[in-house]
Structure 1
Amino acid sequence: MNAVRRHRLLALTLAWLATRAGMLLLLAYNGLPLLGRGAVAREVWRLYYHWYGVLSQGAFPANDHLWQYPPGAGPILLAPALLPDLTYFQAFVAFTLATDALITAVLARAGTRPGHSLRGAVYWIVCLPLLLDMPLVRYDVQVTAFAVISLLTLSRSTRACGAFAALGALVKVWPALVLLGVPRGRATRSVWSWAVGTGVLSLMMLVALFNNPFAFLRQQGGRGVQIESLGGTLLGLATHAGWPGRARYQYGAMEFTGPHVAAVADASLALTAVAFGFLLLWRIRARRWTDATPYDAALSAVLLFTVTSRVISPQYMIWLLGLAAVCLTSRHTVQRPVAALIVAATAISSVEFPALYGDVIHSTWTGCALMVVRNGLLAAAAVLSFVRLWRSSRAVPATPHARVRPAGPHGESQQLTAAHSGA
């Protein structure tokens, strides 16, 4: 390793230490009004700790309407028990910080490979603190780690790629989407074989160890339209036009209740189906892959599913930041403008929650404006991401300046322009 690279990695390490110390400081003072008066951290020491007690008895919280997560979430919530000298809250934060450091290390390692960049590691280090202390007290960092590692192991091991994606999907379903952009042929067959095999084996183990592993399905199906979703933004604006609905706490989130809410929820599900259809169409018609295509496709897929979801919680931005960081490790990515839009949306998210969450709950003009801007940025990012992915995957006309090279360990071909091959 040359001196310049060592200095860059040292700078990354110092930046990570400084930013995470700042996040811990915010967590220590999370009782301040602008930090939510303790509401952000309460989820760990009250809700997660309650679930930990139930899981410790060998069962999932079957009759708890707040439990809406696949069975893979159980081991994540039990993991703090590995640090018995700490309180559950302290151990959870320590575990999350360790996972955050792992993501940073994986991004930095990927960035040092030929043809890659450390921009992804820088992006993750600098942008995650935009969410203040919230990433430390949600387990979305752990879920994001599975997706990041899955994507960045693809070029070395399709088996590991599939296995990590499956483990992530068992915790929160969305990591399965990162496999959408795997090159067709042997790579896809290998990745999905290992994903299915790992998923089935892991699920069988969880079913054997815990009671009520599928209780989450009933609770998840009952969710409505969260106030921070795209549909929730429309309903919030509708209150200023006389719509009589209001926000109420249910299923672990503030959701709208009132006339036409069910129709908005159904429309969100329909849009998700349409988004999935567009992604399948892209995959069928894609003719050109670079090393960044799997990364770009993963970000585009998760963006589309996030924007069309009935729920867009602030912690969902952690997923998008992680996938955007993966894209930026490759010099061939077409998602740089999308990554910038995600940063802007993340900054707005930290303003609306927790500082001005009351305005969002009561659909004041300030709260509505914040949600219009945040969700407008996310919608623009989703559309731009898919358009750039589609255009980058079109067949390249045969010219003297184009060449074909193997893609990854299984020999699928990639057609690269002269501009890409020289990056």
Structure 2
Amino acid sequence: MSLLVVAEPRYRRALLAWLVTRLLLMLMATTVIPWFSHGAVLGDVKIYNGWARILEHGSYPVHDNRWQYPPAAALIFLAPLLVTHFGASYLVTFFFLALLADLAVFLLLLGHAHRNAAADGADAHLTGVWVWVVGGFAIGPLLLMRYDVIVTALAVAGLVLPARSVKLRWSARGALLGLGTIIKVWPGALILGLPPKGPGRRAVAWAVGTALVLTAILSLSMTGALSFLSGQSNRGIEVESVLASVFMFLHWFGYPAKVAMSYGSFQISGPGISAVASFAELLTVVGVGIVLWWRLMRFRPRCWTPGLMYDTAFTVVLVLVVTSRVLSPQYLIWLLGLAALVLTENGPMRRGTVMARPACLVVFCVLITQVEFPLLFGEVMGGQFWGTMVVAARNLILVVACVQALRRLWQAGAREPQEFAEPVKTAASVTHTS
């Protein structure tokens, strides 16, 4: 899609909304407009700055137990540092880098809606675009104060990046997913939804190749590139995670739960917590295993559609978030990007998704993000009523969405193509037009 398409009258309202909301977020992030709990939310960017000072000397911050990131995350943290040599602030530069990633997601979604409209001979269905615009603003300045929006941009591009050549399209998409994997891991799970046969194999090959080559380069050029593997294994149950809600309720009835900062997040401690942490890992394996089993045993190659690819991506990331030992607010940025992509396929002439309802549930959770963090976060850590109830309600909705998504995906993979409500297209044709 030409960038000039964004200026078309039918897209100007969405573009104006993005510009206004992002200007407000940038003004909040830089404290031009006062925003509550600014210092607490800004903390991670200050940590990134400290890590960048270590990384520029050729070593990963292996002695900092908060470092639990794949090797290519270093590239994200170092990028703003390059600009500081010209007198710019690291913090503001990072905000602009995140803003560019946010703009990339907006343009990718808009371009995808535009191509769908051209293929269907209908007006563009912009629900997904509006979900990203409004949802991103609902998350607040946190959107610009974490690097998760950058990873989300890579993931969305890895699913919808356009190119004239089919081979180039899937090669580029695979490379982007591979890059995202060694920055934040979770984009690697999106390969479960890739098309069968040639295009999918090409994308997987490029994803694996990109990840291996960059990991090798970073491992040879810097020390401690793979230290994140042991760091992740030591994490406990974070206070906002799904499983933590159970213990926060029990705390009201005498369970000796304590909340303290550890490994970069506020974790709960108490009898049986370590066993539950191990159980969370088992739940992740089971959840991803269900999706993998579906793909290997129930999925019929002729049933593949681009919409099914987005549904699979949304489902597997939702599984990862719900079963994770940590559920920081910025994780909802991942889900927001994929939910927006899913809802872009839900136009009246298309109906190419089976995940509209779970996606809407996730969007609702995104819209109340700032209520949980940072507004009520003090109550969350203290196990007080409103903070605990808001987090528990959000987590329950996410669990419901996850169960629904798994059920719908399980059923969708065995349907014949005509059973989808999408306009009639063969699997081969959508492979070459997506």
**Cα distance in 2 between the residues matched to 1:342 and 1:100:** 19
Aligned AA (1:335): M
Q: 2:258 aligns with which of 246, 256, 273?
A: 246
Q: 1:138 aligns with which of 117, 130, 146?
A: 146
Aligned AA (1:244): P
Secondary structure at 1:66 match in 2: coil
Contact 1:69 1:216 in 2 (8 A): yes
- Indicate whether 1:107 and 2:115 are aligned: no
* Structure 1 stretches lacking a partner, 5+ long: 415-423
After superposition, the C-alpha distances for 1:246-301 in whole angstroms (9 at most, x for unaligned) are: 11110011001111001111111111111012101211202222220110100000
Which structure has greater helix proportion?
A: 2
Q: CA deviation at 1:31?
A: 9.9
Secondary structure at 1:241 match in 2: coil
Q: CA deviation at 1:190?
A: 1.2
Question: Identity rate of aligned residues, in percent?
Answer: 36
Tell me what 2:404 maps to: 384
Matches within 5 A, 1:198-217: 198-217=210-229
- Indicate whether 1:68 and 2:80 are aligned: no
- Indicate whether 1:93 and 2:107 are aligned: no
Q: CA deviation at 1:410?
A: 6.2
Aligned AA (1:36): S
Tell me what 2:21 maps to: 19
Tell me what 1:128 maps to: 136
Tell me what 1:320 maps to: 335
**Cα distance in 2 between the residues matched to 1:398 and 1:24:** 46
Secondary structure at 2:226 match in 1: coil
Q: CA deviation at 1:82?
A: 3.9
Name the stretch that deviates more: 9-18 or 249-258.
9-18
**Cα distance in 2 between the residues matched to 1:146 and 1:3:** 22
After superposition, the C-alpha distances for 1:373-415 in whole angstroms (9 at most, x for unaligned) are: 110111111111222222222233989x996614368679x9x
Number of matched pairs:
410
Contact 1:226 1:310 in 2 (8 A): yes
**Cα distance in 1 between the residues matched to 2:397 and 2:32:** 27
Tell me what 2:158 maps to: 150
Tell me what 1:186 maps to: 198
**Cα distance in 2 between the residues matched to 1:315 and 1:133:** 11
| TM-score, scaled to structure 2 | 0.89
After superposition, the C-alpha distances for 1:134-187 in whole angstroms (9 at most, x for unaligned) are: 011100010101100000038841111110000000000000111111122222
Aligned AA (1:61): P
Tell me what 2:176 maps to: 164
Q: 1:272 aligns with which of 265, 270, 284?
A: 284
Contact 2:29 2:38 in 1 (8 A): no
Tell me what 1:49 maps to: 49
Q: CA deviation at 1:85?
A: 3.5
Contact 2:259 2:268 in 1 (8 A): yes
Q: 1:235 aligns with which of 244, 247, 250?
A: 247
Query: Compared with structure 1, are the counterparts of its residues 4 and 191 closer, same or farther at alpha carbon in structure 2 (3 Å cutoff)?
Result: closer
Aligned AA (1:323): L
**Cα distance in 1 between the residues matched to 2:93 and 2:16:** 23
* Structure 2 stretches lacking a partner, 5+ long: none
**Cα distance in 2 between the residues matched to 1:290 and 1:119:** 20
Query: Compared with structure 1, are the counterparts of its residues 282 and 61 closer, same or farther at alpha carbon in structure 2 (3 Å cutoff)?
Result: same
Tell me what 1:418 maps to: none
Tell me what 2:299 maps to: 286
Contact 1:143 1:171 in 2 (8 A): yes
Aligned AA (1:391): Q
Aligned AA (2:143): P
Query: Could you say what the CA RMSD is over the residues aligned between the two structures, in angstroms?
Result: 2.5
